[in-house]
Structure 1
């Protein structure tokens, strides 16, 4: 049997000419379909005479209805030239991997198939063998989507870096970022170079001690050590730089890559207004005992959510410089956009001794949001709650309120009445209602995204954004759903 595309086919099989003379077309189609997803018997007029496929899922794409139609009429318009080339005996250069085409499917996404064609002497049909590429196309779409998201995140990161780098550069106050352990300068703005260096040269990599007068180096070192372990800024006056000019300092700690580094704000000592502006922060108190070092972010709260202890991984997660900035605060401080989540969690702990996999959105000290999974346990003897907070790499859907279709959805809302403000319930329930409407639109349109956007009164772009937010990018109407 002679393959039109110059090789033995996508699945590496060949059929002898003698076999075609001893078998009827049905037997041939059934035999070839054992090694392929789709087999078409096409006559000299490009009319499909027989269709064979082993995967029952392909029946939903209407392949069985193509019998009696021209193969060119069953594919999308951009695939027609490929079919013409595949069926033409005059075509000399053919792709070794076959022709990738898309079948038109009413109410469904196009069906991608890669076809190869075969002819034999005295056999009235061209055997078209196909392999469906739905999974490959889905993987490609996910790859493209991931690439677009990465590019968008990178662009956003670069834009933010540009904004803050510009603000850092044009600031009139000298700012120095210091490695908290080595006491070497990580970065400094031009104002710092002008104030601390006699030549105005860049300060990165230099020891902070070398920039101050010998008599004041120990004072500066002690102040830096104090700031690394204090929730409040440390102020220092009457210090002289190496050039001899008196300056004032405010030293703050911040968390970076698991290390507590230091930010110094430095200005001439005679600028009283700057001293007042830099030192108007309200002190934060509180002490506590740190939890044993565990491989995940862990914290301990009382029954009202006030933090009693936390480990360093939790500090890294929320970008808190020190433990004292966490102790005494309510855990809801880091779940401001999902306050109802924590209330639901603590309410459930009254009935359940432990909860696992409770998902929510954490807001860190830099106002960044990230999806997290929370496991919690109530210690009845001490009336304290232990929580493990694990960042989630994937998944956007929160489990704040029972998902649409769950039998306990109404009970879930009822249990919150009297414990959660009505406005919070309404705000959070809007997401649930929106998700129900989107799913209903996808069901009614057999997952036709363009038509679903139209009946919802949304643009396609808005619909795709909402699909990602609700985790419905791969949504497919199930057999038990009503259209």
Structure 2
């Protein structure tokens, strides 16, 4: 810094032109010079700063940071500080701090951060507004989806421009006989027999413009059901959309009502037990025949209980049952035993099928009383087992101990084959049925040569 006052003033003017606020602090901590760039708008805030202690110009936290830097800093240091004063104003400034060698003075060259802070505040407000809009949109979408799914009528939304399905509820998907994802963006004319795209859209648009409710009779292509459709037109996203409500025709409704009555009669009066489970294996419905099998006195002691409570092998039986049904869609002739409410057991045979109820999976189980002396399910090849015949030939030629040792391996092999058959060749489930680890089961599969058979 030049020693000549005029030259020093010239340098300070240049520095002030390059920064928004320039302070020169003397060795005693008193502000000697304050220069504010006219374009910064800070002149009104810095009037009267000259001759004031530097400490009085900053907020307490900022002065703590600045005093620490002044005591230890060497060279040029950068620091963001907040100015504060008795007039209750506060504004941030980023300072470059430089000590004058030999004079004890400190030069602070500042850049006003108020424009940056305002931009940041605007960004924060904009982000919050976007978040509120996003939450409001999600809420509207949730309400829309709930209204669509809980509506008992099958509903379709079709673009009048493209003739493609924009949206539909689960009831409409079941009526059209296809998963909802397969029907989205599909041409509506392809879902009904004997109708061209242009003709169908024109007819639906004509019916939608009528004040009176008009219905169009159609045949569903996938299921062959006779249905009737009425439509209402509305606009959204710069497109004309048709809200189509589908219902069964009178003859189809009568047929469905008759079938429902027959199924209800079968459920109530059938001699085989019928149970419906949710995806977790919890009983949601059971008929009188199942109550008789388990000696349950009423529906209240059965509904909302896990089906494993009634199975002799508990969770192991239920896991094998549910895993196979979910994987294949059905299970036949699964032999096990049911526990009764009076500590008894009943040998039964189960058949299960995976069905959908309003888009939710249900497992329907038929329970038949099985008069079997032994609950072990031997594989079909057991009746003609060469190993058993060989054991019988040993009688009179070998000791009982040797015969028992030979028989143990044969029975062990047959039990493994039975477990694999019961589990549908699911080795993890078979290991659980036999209370073996998977590694032990694989060792025995290789030992008895069953590994390749199970793979096939």
The alignment's TM-score, normalised by the length of structure 2, stands at 0.48
Query: Which of 1 and 2 has greater Rg?
Result: 2
Q: Structure 1 or 2: larger helix share?
A: 2
Q: Which has the higher contact order (CA 8 A, sep 6+)?
A: 1
The alignment's TM-score, normalised by the length of structure 1, stands at 0.46
